[in-house]
Amino acid sequence: CRVRHYKFNVVMKNTTRLCSTKPIVTVNGKFPGPTVYAREDDKVLVKVVNHVKYNVSIHWHGIRQLRTGWADGPAYITQCPIQPGQSYIYNFTITGQRGTLLWHAHILWLRSTVHGAIVILPKLGVPYPFPKPDHERVVILAEWWKSDTEDVINEAMKSGLAPNVSDAHTINGFPGLYPNCSSTKGYTLNVKPGKTYMLRVVNAALNEELFFKIAGHKMTVVEVDASYVKPFKTDTILVAPGQTTNVILAADKGAGRYLVAAATFMETLAVAIDNLTATATLHYTGTLSSTPTILTTPPPQNATPVANNFTLSLKSLNSKKYPAKVPLTVDHSLFFTVGLAVNPCPTCKAGNGSRVVADINNVTFVMPTIALLQAHYFKIKGVFTTDFPGNPPIKFNYTGNPPANLQSTNGTKLYRLPYNATVQVVLQDTGMIVPENHPVHLHGFNFFAVGRGLGNFNPKTDPKKFNLVDPVERNTIGVPSGGWVAIRFHADNPGVWFMHCHLEVHTTWGLKMAFLVENGKGSNESVLPPPKDLPKC
């Protein structure tokens, strides 16, 4: 194994999209940011230097960070932010993981432009469990706002209303052909006839799940969230914010140009391609550029069954070499409602004296001002409590209509787990305002998605149907709108680990909590000491 050194200079950069120019926060002046390459077992050192006016922190989304929570990155959870003019070296080892992940800013809404891919190759000499593709490409999906994204969320928090949606989606930084005033054709994926390509698709968008499709071509899904899956063919993939999907594309069509598109659920309700659809071009080299693009209807017109089929097709590879280590018994069985709520807000004029918030088990998480991991490690009192409820305080019943009690309470509450506990969490969408899909991300662990259903979770009958053989293993899972998902994991990583909805607006509103995993008794079972340059609050 090797040590990989990276330097991330966080700098402002004037960037033009949709006919207007604005300064954006970037890493090394790039949007999207640089790809971090490593192999399984490598040590990675990223020196982040903050040259902007905002506090900054970077999260390595999906990296296990075994005992190295100090390098995980969520501001005020595992570290204090890197202040303007300061720097911090993220120092971690990639253990037992290979595939595609992403890194992104984990403070304010800076993730909108501060993100990039992490490509972890297998150990030297270890092949992929599928035929080696001839080439590999990173494809990053994201969103673009004409306004400054900090203004967008700050205004929303003042008014109590929902923030504006983005003005365009992007593929590798560009909206492509359709958005009004898009100045370029967008990203071009050049392929040679007869070759195979692995596309490492990353959804770095703030608030949108995206369908991804290539006209005239099928894709073979081989990996999600840096875990191998049983390969299957599809013409559309669905990627939620924070998720990654590796597909193999065979360039086996006649010469031509084919449209590549990313679109949201909402767009599928109205029109096939609209000005929010991000597009790119798949180009067979040697083809004249005047050849017309072959059009596609990028989002499936009937999106819900397509999304369900895709989700249900995902299974762990579960081979001899890559067994699915699903916890078969459960020490901690938790039931978390996730959703939106409405709380009083006397100053919220636009919201008529109330504001939209979000919660888990009726707790709207309040960010502390000292990092939780520091408070835990140094035993600083008064920063958090460990009374996060394992079940909703008021028994939950999903009816599809908003329940009477729409309020939540505020708190910085953690749920305490002993080292090596086996944990099951049923995440149930409340549909308090409207049923919504919540891509929930757990830091520090991979989990197995053992069950999924619509309506109310039934604790008597549903567990009998759980898949404990080859459930998909991942770090971010969509809780179906008006439904539930059950996940299981081993609490084998001591520290403080954030769990939240990866739609940034829901995180801001409070759909977040943290697990505190105690140290074990063994010599390799406790949080390592913090690095000397750990930022101070």
Residue 444 binds ligand C2O (CB under 6 A) = no
Least distance in angstroms from the C-beta of 72 to ligand C2O = 8
Residues 399 and 443: their CA atoms lie apart, in Å, by: 31
Binders of ligand C2O in range 332-351 (CB under 6 A): none
Please report, in angstroms and rounded to a whole number, the separation of the first and last CA atoms in the chain: 34
Q: Which is nearer to ligand C2O, 238 or 513 (CB)?
A: 513
Q: Which is nearer to ligand C2O, 242 or 351 (CB)?
A: 242
The residue from 376, 443, 488, 506 that contacts ligand C2O (CB under 6 A) is 443
The three-class DSSP label of residue 112 is helix
Residue 10: C-alpha distances to residues 21, 26, 31, 137 (Å): 19, 6, 12, 25
Q: Which is nearer to ligand C2O, 206 or 317 (CB)?
A: 206
The three-class DSSP label of residue 2 is coil
Least distance in angstroms from the C-beta of 10 to ligand C2O = 17
Q: Which residues of 93-123 are buried (b: 16+ CB within 10 A; e: fewer)?
A: bbeebbbbbbbbbbbbbbbbbbbbbbbbeee
For 493, how many CA atoms within 13 A lie in the half-sphere containing its CB?
A: 23
The three-class DSSP label of residue 464 is helix
Least distance in angstroms from the C-beta of 103 to ligand C2O = 9
The three-class DSSP label of residue 308 is helix
Give Dmax over CA atoms of the chain in angstroms.
68
Residues 441 and 500: their CA atoms lie apart, in Å, by: 5
Least distance in angstroms from the C-beta of 512 to ligand C2O = 8
Binders of ligand C2O in range 36-95 (CB under 6 A): 59, 61, 74
Residues 102 and 36: their CA atoms lie apart, in Å, by: 9
Least distance in angstroms from the C-beta of 118 to ligand C2O = 11
Q: Which is nearer to ligand C2O, 107 or 229 (CB)?
A: 107
Angle, vertex CA 341, rays to CA 336 and CA 347, nearest 5 = 140
Place of tokens 């018994």: 329
Give the pairing of strands 363-365 and 409-411.
parallel
In Å, how far from its chain's centre is CA 146?
23
Closest alpha carbon to 209 in 236, 235, 177: 236
Least distance in angstroms from the C-beta of 485 to ligand C2O = 18
Residues 495 and 517: their CA atoms lie apart, in Å, by: 5
Least distance in angstroms from the C-beta of 416 to ligand C2O = 20
Contact status, residue 128 vs residue 192, Cβ threshold 8 Å? no
Per-residue contact flags (x/-) with ligand C2O for residues 488 to 517, judged by CB under 6 A? ----------x-x-x---------------
Residue nearest to ligand C2O (CB): 61
Q: Which is nearer to ligand C2O, 106 or 506 (CB)?
A: 106
Binders of ligand C2O in range 402-431 (CB under 6 A): none
List 174's β-bridge partners, or say none: 171
Least distance in angstroms from the C-beta of 498 to ligand C2O = 5
The residue from 17, 104, 355, 413 that contacts ligand C2O (CB under 6 A) is 104
Place of tokens 């990173």: 138
The residue from 64, 67, 98, 106 that contacts ligand C2O (CB under 6 A) is 106
Q: Which is nearer to ligand C2O, 273 or 517 (CB)?
A: 517
Q: Which is nearer to ligand C2O, 298 or 535 (CB)?
A: 535
Q: Which is nearer to ligand C2O, 61 or 98 (CB)?
A: 61
Query: How many residues are present in the chain?
Result: 537
Q: Which is nearer to ligand C2O, 149 or 220 (CB)?
A: 149
Q: Which is nearer to ligand C2O, 439 or 451 (CB)?
A: 439
Number of residues that bind ligand C2O (CB under 6 A): 11
Least distance in angstroms from the C-beta of 107 to ligand C2O = 10
Residue 441 binds ligand C2O (CB under 6 A) = yes
The residue from 242, 439, 451, 478 that contacts ligand C2O (CB under 6 A) is 242
Least distance in angstroms from the C-beta of 199 to ligand C2O = 20
Q: Which residues in this chain contact ligand C2O in the complex, by CB under 6 A? A: 59, 61, 74, 104, 106, 242, 441, 443, 498, 500, 502
